[in-house]
Chains A and B, each alone.
Chain A
Amino acid sequence: MTAQPAVQRRRFRRWTASERQVIPWVLLFLSPWIVGLIVFTIIPMGWSLWLSFTDYDPLTDVGNFIGVENYIEMVGDPRVSLSLFNTLYFTVLYVPLSVALSIFLATILNGVGGRWAGFFRTAFYLPNLTPSVAVGTLFLLILNGQSGILNQFVSTFGIDGPSWLNDPAWVKNGIVLMMLWSIGGSVIILFAALRNVPTELYEAARIDGASRWQQFMNVTVPMISGALFFIIVINTIASLQLFSEVYTMFYGTQQGMSSGSERAALFYVIYLFRNAFEFFEMGYASALAWVLFVVILIITLIQIRLSKRFVYYEGE
């Protein structure tokens, strides 16, 4: 993102006549956003911060101020540490894998020329169009015990596939596979970035005798570093908030799911959601939400900081 035009430095600059004249119009055009910002962002932020210091129960509509007790309770809550562990496990596994795989797939797409290019692009993107509930449903079938298609496929190589849905040691790996399946969005972003790399750079590198790998590391990666950075940030934030697909598969009231796999699939936002809307512990859930917010903010800031060192922006 390019820098905003420098804000006026003079403190008491008078607004020009034309500026003053358009202000009513500006307010009119901005009004939907202003109302939305107040009603659906500022008030909710303040409200949830307040709730996080109460024991608010929506059923009785009673909430007492209890100070930082919710936050203290979080520290000792084994489900919080479990869900944090699960979430971080997933994020640490998923983000690098998704980035590596999407670069690989984007490079492949970039190598397809002619009439079929559109077809393959579409094929790679299709899983992204599948609603998360349908993804969850599909993978309930794909990962199902011995009869699911993944284990059927694996068994043709004589391998006895694990029990993806019931074995706590394998549940999260199955979820990583599921999320990697719908990687198409990242692939398309990187593909577009690859298309923007000037071909002259590759020609120059070839003349200099650079190998394919050297071209990739020294031309491609720096030239698409902006898009790469974007994908890392977005995928990290999404991983930390993983909810719908996993909730579809492992929560709700379905039967036959062992509690072991339910524990293995307890992600942070799922625990937050259950506290708020299933256990009606909205004060506690608000505290969980604020901790998540701070964690995401810190991680994003660290990533932005790192990006200043590694991301190459054209024209800087």
Chain B
Amino acid sequence: MATDSHADRSFVPGIDRPAEVVATQSRNPVRGVVSRIGFLAVLLGFTVLFIYPFIWLVSASLKPGADVFNGELIPSPIVWENYPELFNLTQMGAWTWNSTYVSLLAAVTVTISSALVAFAFAYFRFPYRGAVFAIVLASMMLPGAVTMIPTFLIWDALGWTNTHVPLWAGNLFASPFYIFLLRQFFLGLPRELFDAARVDGANYLRMWWSVALPLTRAALIVVFVFELKAAWTDLVKPLIFIRDVGLYTLPRGLKAVIDSPSIGGERHFELLAVGGVIVTVPMLIIFFLGQRYFLEGIATTGSTGR
């Protein structure tokens, strides 16, 4: 099989290899020190650039409204009340719950369905397999903007607009990108394992569930975490499908906060900051829990995770 040459590589080629090419190898010691310092300055500069906005956002969310832009990082006084206030002014509690369960459902369904389809492409030898898989790859290129309107009309015809169903149920039908990713991992499993299971009398579904899936746990977590992030951060679907404010997800809710002058608007930047913190922090927690899987997933699949 042409693709097998990749399969025997380790999970993420090279990402955990210790750095061998260290930046400075200059023979002149003074020049070496100077370029080492320059390197560190650039490294730290960019680190601050990427992290500082978060810290600033958290700081702004704890300030009295008038102080948001006062240029001080430590709020004085610290206004913890901004948080309950946003929950009181909006339906933040309901939005958080909606986001949580919709994202979990979306991630679970897409992981299982994509694993099922990917296994077929990796294990079975069936006629036109290459051609069918090419269709999977081709459908990955389709821009979401093209199918957006008719997909709305389909859910509308089914009577499911203004419910949470369209936000996750599409994931029951697998996603080309994850099929591609998981197939790579299934191809890496030795075939003898499955032959042994066959001898033991397991049918193919059982074999998939109890032999293939446990062995690709890491890859399944990659898919799960990716989709959790995608579903949690998505603004477009809730914009299109949800009308009732109580049914909003967090991103849609935050957009509503920005849009309503009485709560967000020009005067209450501290409450916008609160919303920004609340919608971001769960992603940070997920990331720190599944950090390994996240970075390895991106590196292997080449997804930018948008």
> Chain A residues in contact with chain B, CB under 8 A?
1-5, 7, 15, 18-19, 22-23, 25-26, 28-30, 32-33, 35-37, 39-41, 43-45, 47-48, 51, 58, 105, 108, 110-114, 117-118, 120-134, 136-138, 140-142, 144, 147-149, 152, 181, 184-186, 188-189, 191-192, 195-196, 199, 202, 227, 230-231, 234-235, 237-238, 240-241, 243-244, 247-248, 252-256, 269, 272-273, 276-277, 282, 285-286, 289-290, 292-293, 296-297, 300, 315
**Contact-residue size bin, chain B (C-beta under 8 Å from the other chain):** 35 or more
Q: Are A191 and B154 in contact (CB under 8 A)?
A: no
Q: Are A130 and B283 in contact (CB under 8 A)?
A: yes
**B131, B145, B229, B276: the one within 8 Å of A272 (CB):** B145
Given A36-B170, A110-B19, A254-B258, are A137 and B69 neighbors across the interface (CB < 8 Å)?
Answer: no
Segment at the interface with A among B9-17, B74-82, B85-93: B9-17
**B135, B172, B205, B279: the one within 8 Å of A133 (CB):** B279
Nearest residue, chain B, Cβ from A41: B139
- Chain B: minimal CB distance from A243 (Å): 7
Closest 4 pairs between A and B when the two form their complex, measured CB to CB: A36-B173, A185-B304, A111-B23, A192-B299
How long is the Cα–Cα vector from A315 to B6 in the complex, in angstroms? 12
The 8 A CB mask of B238-272 against A (1 = contact, 0 = none) is 01100000000011101100111100111001001
**B50, B146, B240, B260: the one within 8 Å of A45 (CB):** B146
Main secondary structure of the interface of A (DSSP, over half): helix
Q: Are A111 and B39 in contact (CB under 8 A)?
A: yes
Q: Are A131 and B280 in contact (CB under 8 A)?
A: yes
Given A255-B266, A285-B149, are A185 and B306 neighbors across the interface (CB < 8 Å)?
Answer: yes
**B130, B170, B251: the one within 8 Å of A132 (CB):** B251
Q: Beyond the given A36-B170, A142-B56, please list 7 additional residue pairs across the A-B interface where CB-CB is below 8 A.
A: A5-B1, A48-B146, A105-B46, A123-B47, A181-B53, A192-B300, A282-B149
The 8 A CB mask of B118-159 against A (1 = contact, 0 = none) is 011000111110111111110101111111111111101000
